[in-house]
Amino acid sequence: MRILITAAVASLLQTCLAANAADWRSRTIYQVFTDRFARTDGNTTAPCNVANNLYCGGTWKGLEKKLDYIKNMGFTAVWISPITAQVANAYHGYYQNDLYSLNPNFGTAHDLRSLAAALHSKGMYLMVDIVPNHMAFAGCPDKIDYRRLKTLNHPDKFHSYCPIKDTGNQTELEDCWLGDCNMAMPDIKTEDPQIAGKMNTWIKWLVSAHNIDGLRIDSVKNVNKAFFPPFCRAAGVFCMGEVSEGRADYTYSYQEQMDSVLDYPLYYAITRVFQQKSNMSDLVVALAACTENQETGCKDSTLLGTFFENHDNLRFANVTQDLSLVKNALAFTMLGDGIPIVYQGQEQHFAGGDDPWCREALWSSQFNTTSPLYKYTALLNNIRNHVISHSSSSSRHRNHHGYAVSGSAPYLAYQTRVLAYTATEMQLRKGEVRTVLSTQGEQSPSWTLKTQGMEFDTGKTVLDVLSCTRYAVNWNGEVDVNMRAGGPVVLVEEDVLRGSDLCTCERGGGSRGYVGIETVGGGEWGPHGS
C-alpha cells in the first residue's frame, strides 16, 4: 500500500513537472555551451584556446554558481550542451558513445540534479540538448567496435554505412552517415519500431532522471520525420528541433512533428539585413514566409526559437562591431514572435568566427555585468517579461515553480505585424509594443521618423523605453520619433509601464511621475535593467 501511494505521488509529480509548449512560450532562453561557460573553481583566467578543440573545464557546478549572471539578465530558461558520455575530447557534446551515462567532464548526476534544482528555485527552466540521430566512434566507419556503443551495441541498430554526398537528397540525409574517418557517426535506425522504442524509453528516463523541462534536438533533418511525435510524447516536455536550413517550406514543415524548431529561415534574414545591411524588405519577406504563406508557413510562429548567434555560426560582431546594428537585431529577436534565444557571449559582444572560433570561454569576460550589451539584453528581457505579465494580469496563474505564466496572454498570442518599411527602416507591432528598426548604423545622424499605422490612443503619452524619451500621440494616433545613432526605438503607452521599473525616475527618492514632454540628454530618465 505504501509503495502504491508513493508511486502514485511520484507519477503525479512527474506529470506536473513536465513543462509543455504553453509553459515555454513566455520564456527567453540563454544558450550555455557547457565546457565554455564557467568552471567549478570559478577561475576566470584559465586559458581556453578554441583552436585546440579540447576541453577547457566548464562544468554544471560552475554554471550553477553563476546562475545569477543569467537570471539578472532576465532569462527564464537555460539550454545546456548534450549531457551524455562522449568519445575522448568531445568538449561540445555531439559525439556520444553511451546514452545512459553522463559526461564526467561536466560533472556527476548529483551535480546535474543540483543544477536543475537551482534553476527551478529561481523560476527558470532547464533545456537539454540531445542527439537522437547518431552515436560516435573515433575512427573509420568500417573499424567501429560496436561494443563501445553501450546501449546500441550492434551494427543492426544502425543503417549500413554510406556517406552523405548529396545534401539535397532526403533519403541520403536520413539513412547515410554524418562524420568521416576521424569520427564515424553510426546513424541510428530510428525508423525501426524496436529501435525507436528503445530511444523512447531512453528519453523518458533522461528527462525524469534529471528533471529536464525541455529538449533541444540536434540534427533533426538527418532523422526520419515519423520518429519524432512518439519520441516527444515519451519525453513529455517541450521539444525544439534544429533543422539547419534556410528554406522556409523545408524547415517549418518540421513543426508538424514537434512543438518548435529553431528559426533558421529568419536567422539568415536577420543576419543579411542587420549584419550586411541588405534591404529591409528581405526581413519582411522572411516574416511573411512563416505567417502569411500557405506553402511555406509555420504552424505557430510564437513557439519558434529565434536567434542570430549560436555555437555553429560566426558571431554577429565578427562581421560588424556597429553597436546600433546589433541592438536592432537583438530588439527584433527579443520583442518579436517566438521564444528568443541568446547564445553565451553575445552579451559581451564576442566576435569569434565559424566553429570553433565562436566557442570562446565566457569566463574571459570576467562575467562583466556592466558591459553595454549585458545591460541592453537585461533591458529587453525586462520589457518583454513586464509586458507579458501586464498583458495577462487578468488571466494569470502560477506554475509548479511558483512562477507566473500566461499561456493565453494577448501579447504572446499577438502575431507580429509589419506596419511600414523602407529599404532601411521597419515599423512593427506586437500587441502593446511597437518597434522601429533601422539598418543605418550608429554613425547615422539624428532624424525624425513619422510613424505609420501605430494606432496609439490619441491623447496618450508614449515612451521609447530604450531611451525613456516621451512622445505625445498625434490626432491620428501616430508619433514623430527621434531616431538617434541608428536606433532602435521601442514604443509603449505610458499606462503599460505601471508596475514596472522601466523608465522610473532615478532622482527624487522613488517618485514615479513624469513631468512634461522632454527628450533625454540630462540623464534623468535612465533605463533600468532588472
Ligand X SMILES: *[C@@H]1O[C@H](CO)[C@@H](O)[C@H](O)[C@H]1NC(C)=O
Query: What one-character DSSP code corresponds to residue 192?
Result: S
* 501 annotated active-site: no
Q: Answer yes or no whether residue 423 interacts with ligand X by CB under 6 A.
A: yes
* Nearest position to ligand X, beta carbon: 353
Interface region with ligand X, contact rule CB under 6 A, candidates 17-25, 45-53, 63-71, 406-414:
45-53
Query: Is residue 366 near ligand X by the rule CB under 6 A?
Result: yes
Q: Which amino acid is at 360?
A: E
Which of 218, 309, 347, 425 is labelled catalytic?
A: 218
Position 52 contacts ligand X (CB under 6 A): no
> Judged by CB under 6 A, does residue 499 bind ligand X?
no
Closest to ligand X by CB, 42 vs 508, is 42
Give catalytic status of residue 180 as yes or no: no
DSSP string, 455-501: -PPTT-EEEETTTTEEEEPPTTS--EEEE-TT--EEEEEGGGGTTS-
List the catalytic residue out of 111, 174, 242, 347: 242
| 368 binds ligand X, rule: CB under 6 A | yes
Which residue is associated with the grid cell 511520484? Answer: 10
**CA–CA separation, 356 and 63 (whole Å):** 21
Q: Which of 281, 364, 415, 482 binds ligand X (CB under 6 A)?
A: 281
With binding defined as CB under 6 A, does residue 46 bind ligand X?
yes
CA–CA distance, 154 with 499 (Å, rounded to integer): 60
Write the DSSP symbol of residue 147.
Answer: G
8 Å CB contact between 338 and 263: yes
The count of chain residues that interact with ligand X, using the rule CB under 6 A, is 20
Q: Which of 2, 3, 4, 45 binds ligand X (CB under 6 A)?
A: 45
Residue 280 backbone dihedrals phi, psi, to 5 degrees: -55, -25
Give the nearest distance from C-beta 40 to ligand X in angstroms. 11
Does residue 172 bind ligand X (CB under 6 A)?
Answer: yes
Torsion of CA 345, 216, 66, 333, to 10 degrees: 50
| Contact present, 29 and 377 (Cβ < 8 Å) | no
Q: Which stretch binds ligand X (CB under 6 A): 40-48, 103-111, 485-493, 517-525?
A: 40-48
Using alpha carbons, list the distances in angstroms from residue 21 to 13, 303, 437.
18, 7, 29
Residues sharing a CB contact under 8 Å with residue 523, sequence separation 6 or more, in sequence order: none
Residues 283-342 that bind ligand X (CB under 6 A): 318
**Residue of 101, 279, 364, 415 interacting with ligand X (CB under 6 A):** 279
Closest approach of ligand X to the CB of residue 372, in Å: 6
What is the DSSP annotation of 241-300? E------HHHHHGGGGTSSEEB-HHHHHHHIIIIIT---THHHHHHHHHHHT-TTT--S-
Q: CB nearer to ligand X: give 87 or 419.
A: 419
Taking the complex as a whole, how short is the minimal distance between the CB of residue 166 and ligand X, in angstroms? Answer: 6
State yes or no: residue 195 binds ligand X (CB under 6 A): no
Residues that bind ligand X (CB under 6 A): 41, 43, 45-47, 169, 171-172, 279, 281, 318, 351-353, 357, 366, 368, 370-371, 423
- Give catalytic residue positions: 218, 242
